[in-house]
Amino acid sequence: MAAATAVCALALAGCSAENFTFGPDGNKKHLRPVSSQTMALMREKGMSKESPILLRIYKEESELEIWKKTTAGNYELLRKFPICKWSGELGPKVKQGDRQAPEGFYSIRPELMNPHSSYHLAFNLGFPNEFDRAHGRTGAHLMVHGDCSSSGCYAMTDEQISEIFALAREAFDGGQLAFQVQAFPFRMTSANMTRHRNNPNIPFWRTLKEGSDHFEVTRQEPKIDVCAKRYIFNAVPNDPMKPFDAARPCPAYHLQPEIAQLIQKRQNSEGNDITSLLTRNMPAAPVRTNNDGGSNPAFAGRVPLSSVQAQQQAEADDEDETPRPAAKKQSEKQPAAGEKEVGGAIAAASAGLKYVPGATAAAAEFSQFLHALKRAKPRNKKSAGILPALFRFSLLVFF
């Protein structure tokens, strides 16, 4: 019972399994150079390989954008990637185990990059940030990673995360201390804000839109602060001796006049658009879809298999088409010490993980359990996916 509790706790933690890896990773996947296609785009757009980057994520559209600073000093869109999978509903992550992918503004420092991820490559979003902590939000290990499999994270293909990782590495090498990730529920347009007007998260989303507007009108990374438990953008305190504090009321502050004018102009224009859409009775979107996240239409019918799914498919093919080999003779068996390693190798392979020599023979029991799960007839499709997933996390707990 205690073991099951530990497995469930780890499963609820988000993409926490990504902090573990089986065996040495000698392929230096994190050192892969920026692709020739992206290098050509950078030359075309007047960007250097080492210039700063900024990422924008849109859940509903399942898209991730990479923006990069040009030689003129402004951020311009470099590349747009379809997101393979994200989990949960539209809305922020509130508590550990809710399967929600975070929304908000996050700062990614070099130490949050994981070149040894079980999900090919990954970087930690740094959830909870100052805003999240002020609201008592819980959770950990919320990532953008590869392997096209998500539990509270944003999952990309291995090829995509390799390119993102390479661009981040070059930006850090060029002197960028941290890059900003702006995670939104959808593109922050007047139409989308109108469609989602009945969602209880709309006050929070209006704040996110304000931050989005600051980036859109300036093409500069907005300075993020938190006071009175809310985000504020490009704010300058009137009294430098009264800094912003997430848990305290906001001190008097102001915006630079040129930014304030641009923001006001944009808000006036979009306010008129929203009024027009409401006058035309634009239908409201449902508050909940009852779907677990989404995937970009680019992957429709051809979502790449995760490493776990690929291994399970290979095992199924072997069971269906390949005769089982005859049992080995006694003389062909491995030494007793070697037998202790066999269970670990089988269980790690069954879960799509790398194997560390020295795993205990108890792993053989886990492997048998996995095969039992695969042959069982679950009562519904949902439990069919949950049980193998919990088993995969159990490997990480007991090894």
Residues tagged active-site: 145, 153
One-letter amino acid at 6 equals A
| β partners of residue 154 | 86, 144
Joined tokens for residue 271: 């306010």
User: Cα-atom radius of gyration of the chain, to the nearest Å?
Assistant: 24
* Cβ-contact 84, 109 below 8 angstroms: no
7 close to 369: Cβ distance less than 8 angstroms: no
**Geometric angle at alpha carbon 37, from 34 and 38, rounded to 5°:** 50
**What residues have CB less than 8 Å from 321, skipping those under 6 apart?**
none
Burial 27-41 (b: 16+ CB within 10 A, else e): eebbeeebeeebeeb
DSSP structure class, residue 19: G
What's 58's DSSP letter? Answer: E
Bin 178: left if φ > 0, else alpha if -120 < ψ < 50, else beta: beta
Overall residue count recorded for the chain in this entry = 399
Count CB neighbours of 133 within 10 A.
15
Are 167 and 53 a contacting pair, CB within 8 Å?
yes
Cβ count near 351 (within 10 Å): 26
CB 61 within 8 A of CB 48: no
Q: Which residues contact 150 (CB under 8 A, 6 or more apart)?
A: 15, 84, 85, 86, 87, 101, 293
Single-letter code of the amino acid located at 105: F
H or E, element range at 65: strand 63-69
